[in-house]
Amino acid sequence: MADQAEGSLGDKDALLRITQGLRRVDVGTYALRIRLAEKLGIGTIDINAMAFVGEVDGMTPKALGNLLNITTGSVTAMVDRLESKGFMVRKPNPTDRRSVLLHLSPAGTHAMQWATEHFAEAAAAVLEGSPEASISDVAGFLEGIGQRLLVAASAPDQSPR
């Protein structure tokens, strides 16, 4: 099975280029989030919170705190800040009256679309002239990597080597 997997990956240099490319995307994403945070007058952790809430509309504050690895008190203060700036709203949780669900406001959604537009422009420039099948393969690859990274991030503690 390992031989089959190695054969399907092809050249180790190509895999290294892909890995390095994904790291550049990560660094570029972080740089965009810093710039967006500066434009909005908020912190990068606030942008990260908005990104998570934008992905999972109706997230509980507890779930957000777990994703960001911050305390419930820190989540409350952050959501208060984002709500006061008009980027996030709390709504009653229909299944638990003691809880609220977090949603991006229209202004929060608009702010996150700014970053999405930059991703779209970068992708369009790189993929210009590529066959549709190649673009579909790239999209599937990125979706798969994103999903696997989310699974890895939620896995039980594993110390870096």
| Angstrom distances, CA of residue 124 to CA of 91, 92, 118, 130 | 37, 40, 10, 10
List of residues 6+ apart from 103 with CB closer than 8 A: 53, 57, 58, 88, 89, 90, 91
Note the pTM of the prediction, 2 decimals.
0.80
Report the half-sphere exposure of 83 (CA within 13 A, side-chain side).
13
pLDDT of residue 154: 78
Structure confidence at residue 145 as a pLDDT band (50, 70, 90): very high
**What's residue 153's pLDDT?**
82
Report the CATH fold assignment for 17-153.
Answer: Arc Repressor Mutant, subunit A (1.10.10)
What integer pLDDT is reported at residue 105 of this predicted model?
Answer: 98
Q: In terms of Cα–Cα distance, which of 36, 54, 49 is closest to 82? A: 49
Domain ranges of the chain: 17-153
Give the mean pLDDT of the chain. Answer: 90
Could you report the per-residue pLDDT of 95-126, keeping only the tens digit for each?
A: 999 999 999 999 999 999 998 999 899 999 99
